[in-house]
Amino acid sequence: MCGRFVLITDLSVIGRDFIVPNVGVSFSASRDVSPGQRIPAVVRRGGHHELVLFQWGLIPAWCKDPSIGAKLFNARAETIAEKPSFKNAFVNRRCLIPADGFFEWKKEGSKKIPYYFFLKSGRPMGFAGLYETWIAPDKKPVHTCTIITTRPNAIVEPIHDRMPVIVPEAARELWLNPAVKGATRLLDLLKPYPVFEMACRPADPWMDLHISQSTRV
């Protein structure tokens, strides 16, 4: 499960890394990005990449109760091709969610200790995501997204039994391309990230103070 991540890299750098020609949105750097917030995401439209803002917590277009978004901030890679909440977005609306790293918690005695995972290169990662547009009763569109999770690699496994899917840089274009419909090709990307490219450390005291206990996962 991925319920907290860090994004402090400036969006101008994100734009260069993810080949976004024009960055037309803003985001306040945060070491505690949480479900329900509006977060940057990269989509492919009209043959080029765009950086947009989505509310984190997917609301399917057909849903009558938007509160479901509070539960759908993650989607399991093993079931997205069949689960009604995700299968249409998996085929047609895929995105990348940039992050500097993410947190998972390990129970140690009576406490849950946060651990921070990041790339050894120090570069931002791109989580595999899906997005939807839900029309509110007042006819206003609500744009939402979810982060896909998979089984853990060897560095995450001692801490948690799930991890976000990190799409390798070489596969980003394939994941974003809406013309790609083959489930097998896409599902092949939803696997644990190479462990030798990642690092982990206990969260420092500043981070620990700024991560709310109420939604730790």
Tokens of 60: 């399917």
What is the distance between the alpha carbons of residues 122 and 197, in angstroms, rounded to a whole number? 10
Comparing C-alpha atoms, which of 159, 166, 165 is closest to residue 201? 159
Compute φ and ψ for 103, nearest 5 degrees.
-110, 145
2 is catalytic: yes
108 is catalytic: no
Tokens of 215: 């939604």
3-state secondary structure the chain: CCCCEEECCCHHHHHHHCCCCCCCCCCCCEEEECCCCEEEEEEEECCEEEEEEEEECCCCCCCCCHHHHHCCCEEECCCCCCCCCCHHHHHHCEEEEEECEEEEEEEECCEEEEEEEEECCCCCEEEEEEEEEEECCCCCEEEEEEEEEECCCCCCCCCCCCEECECCHHHHHHHHCCCCCCHHHHHCCCCCCCHHHEEEEECCHHHHHCCCHHHCC
From the list 50, 95, 104, 145, the catalytic residue is 104
From the list 2, 50, 95, 132, the catalytic residue is 2
Q: Which residues are catalytic?
A: 2, 104
